[in-house]
């Protein structure tokens, strides 16, 4: 795995080094897809493709003393929101858990139970408002810190804390007694 820092890769990418930016793409593609999926469901892949292309083209506007991750994820979130706005059917916004391969031959029921719990959790996430779902996606699906999440949402960290807290409360309420989380 490439251990070159984001800063160095960004500097190289600014001079048109596509390989340097491709390394950043490899580094952040999965969390970016997860974030975009949290916001725009099935449109995630196209949103992320467009976001990375935009980010590459906009590198000239990136302040080199600023952290790269929040800047990149702001572009991903914007692209995903744009896609969500243009979608009308809720179905394609709905998040799903990847199906378990059948017949894994496990000796216990644990995998099936875990799968069922994830399915219930994702169903609860699907019930959240766009704002709440987004903060969950940033914090847990993309793995951003609270400060990074605040930077992406352009709001104070306190707002992220309270929004997150309300989102988690709603998830607990939706999950009720059946799943103790």
Partner 1 sequence: MTDLERALTDLADHLDVPDTAGSGDALRRRLAAPATLPRHGRTRALLAAAAAIAVVSVGVVAVAPARHAVAGWLGIGAVEIRRSVPPLSVAPSTVPTTATTEPAPSLDLAAARRLVQFTIVTPRDVASPARVAVDRRVPGGLVVLTYDHFTLVEIATDRSQPPPLAKLVGGRARVEPVTVHGHAGVWVPEIHRIGYLDRSGRLRSDTVRRAGPVLLWERDGVTFRVEGPHTLAEAHAIADTVV
From the CB of 52, what's the least distance to partner 1, in Å? 6
Q: How many CA atoms lie within 13 A of 146 on its CB side?
A: 10
Triad 136, 118, 181: Cα angle to 5°: 70
Please tell me whether residue 45 binds partner 1 under the rule CB under 8 A: yes
Run of H or E residues at 46 = helix 44-57
Q: Is 166 left (phi over 0), alpha (psi -120 to 50) or beta?
A: alpha
Location of structure tokens 């009720």: 176
Is the Cβ–Cβ distance between 144 and 69 less than 8 Å?
Answer: yes
Nearest alpha carbon to residue 71 among 79, 62, 80: 62
Is residue 52 a contact residue for partner 1 (CB under 8 A)? Answer: yes
Residue among 79, 179, 69 nearest 122 (CA): 179
Nearer to partner 1, 7 or 45 (CB): 45
**CA-CA distance, 14 to 21, in Å (whole number)?**
9
Query: Considering the rule CB under 8 A, would residue 174 count as an interface residue with partner 1?
Result: no
Instruction: Tell whether residue 141 is a contact of partner 1 (CB under 8 A).
Output: yes
Candidates 15, 63, 91, 104; binder of partner 1 (CB under 8 A) is: 91
Q: By CB under 8 A, which span of 3-11, 69-77, 105-113, 138-146 interacts with partner 1?
A: 138-146
Give the one residue of 15, 89, 101, 110 binding partner 1; rule: CB under 8 A.
89
Instruction: State the Cα–Cα distance between residues 50 and 95, nearest whole angstrom.
Output: 21
CB of 98 to partner 1, least distance (A): 4
Residues 10, 75, 135, 136: which binds partner 1 (CB under 8 A)? 136
Q: How far is the CB of 63 from partner 1 (least distance, A)?
A: 21
Residues that bind partner 1 in the complex, under the rule CB under 8 A: 18, 21-22, 25-26, 29, 33-34, 37, 42, 44-46, 49, 52-53, 56-57, 82-83, 86-89, 91-92, 95-99, 115, 117-118, 121-122, 125, 136, 139-143, 168, 171-172, 175, 180-181
């Amino acid at each position: 795995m490439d251990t070159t820092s984001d800063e160095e890769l960004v500097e190289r990418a600014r001079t048109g080094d596509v390989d340097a930016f491709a390394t950043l793409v490899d580094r952040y593609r999965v969390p970016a897809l997860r974030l975009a999926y949290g916001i725009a469901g099935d449109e995630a892949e196209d949103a992320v493709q467009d976001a990375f292309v935009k980010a590459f083209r906009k590198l000239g506007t990136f302040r080199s003393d600023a952290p790269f991750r929040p800047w990149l994820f702001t572009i991903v979130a914007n692209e995903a929101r744009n896609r969500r706005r243009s979608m009308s059917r809720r179905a394609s916004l709905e998040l799903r858990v990847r199906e378990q391969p059948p017949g894994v031959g496990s000796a216990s029921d644990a995998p099936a139970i875990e799968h069922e719990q994830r399915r219930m959790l994702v169903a609860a996430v699907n019930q959240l408002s766009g704002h709440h779902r987004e903060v969950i996606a940033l914090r847990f699906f993309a793995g951003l810190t609270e400060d990074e999440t605040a930077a992406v949402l352009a709001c104070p960290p306190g707002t992220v804390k309270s929004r997150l807290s309300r989102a988690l409360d709603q998830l607990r309420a939706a999950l009720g007694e059946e799943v103790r989380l």
